[in-house]
Amino acid sequence: MHVLRLDAITASRSVDRHQATTLHDISLDVRAGELVGIYGARGSGKTTLLQVAAGRLKPTRGTATFAGRSVTRQHERIALVTLNPPPLADLPIEVHVALPLLGRVGHRRAQRAANEALTKVGAAGSGQLCWSDLPASERPLALLAHALVRQPRVLLTDDITRGLGATDRRHLTTLLRELAEDDELAVLAAVSDPSALSSAHHVAFLTQGRLIDGDDPAAHDQQGAS
């Protein structure tokens, strides 16, 4: 079985030139077909962890691999989704979703794949809308479709439930679990609110760059203190 493996990761990422978010000796496995959730407050290291897992940030110590190979050599197999507007936000969402395929396959094939990705995430009716016209609950879906159109094997999401109500948060994480199980994806989702992770196969708590298993009583103590 293919596994996303973070082994004894120590890493730093500069923020606003002066601050640094640091990870301390983090080890974590995410298996294909599995949704693993990480929760922690702002500045706990969630984004740094995902940057390492995506191969965009080199750790100062430890290794990040998928299926036994360094993640830095597998960019096409790893998708990182952040809750940011697309660069060309005035284009229809259908075009934005198709962009990763344009130049690699024909326009019609890219458009068909984009529509299939939007249907997969439950946003088939959003293709002709622009970003500004999308309801908040559908923006993460459009971003997920944009990532899935490349058919990655690892899906990383950075707080994409942020700003959603409880029902929409649960719907989104249920979707992430279904994508993991149906497409045999290794899915790692970072959130600020642990209630968004009710559908996860496994949950861990990140605090000050240190990872605590969600079943460890210390995780609940840390959450209560935050």
What is residue 155's predicted lDDT score, i.e. its pLDDT? 98
Q: What mean pLDDT comes out for the span 127-147?
A: 94
Total domain count, the chain? 1
Range of the domain at 127: 3-225
**Looking at residue 8, which CATH number applies to its domain?**
3.40.50.300
pTM across the whole model: 0.90
3-state DSSP of the chain: CCEEEEEEEEEEEEECCCEEEEEEEEEEEEECCEEEEEECCCCCCHHHHHHHHCCCCCCCEEEEEECCEEHHHCHHHEEEEECCCCCCCCCCHHHHHHHHHECCECHHHHHHHHHHHHHHCCCHHHCCCCHHHCCCCCHHHHHHHHHHCCCCCEEEEECCCCCCCHHHHHHHHHHHHHHHHHHCCEEEEEECCHHHHCCCCEEEEEECCEEEECCCHHHHHHHHHC
pLDDT above 70 covers what percent of the chain? 91
Average pLDDT over residues 15-31: 83
**Mean pLDDT in the chain?**
90
Query: What does the pLDDT look like over 155-212, one tens digit per residue?
Result: 999 999 999 999 999 999 999 999 999 999 999 999 988 888 989 999 999 999 999 9
pLDDT tier, 226 (very low <50, low <70, confident <90, very high otherwise): very low
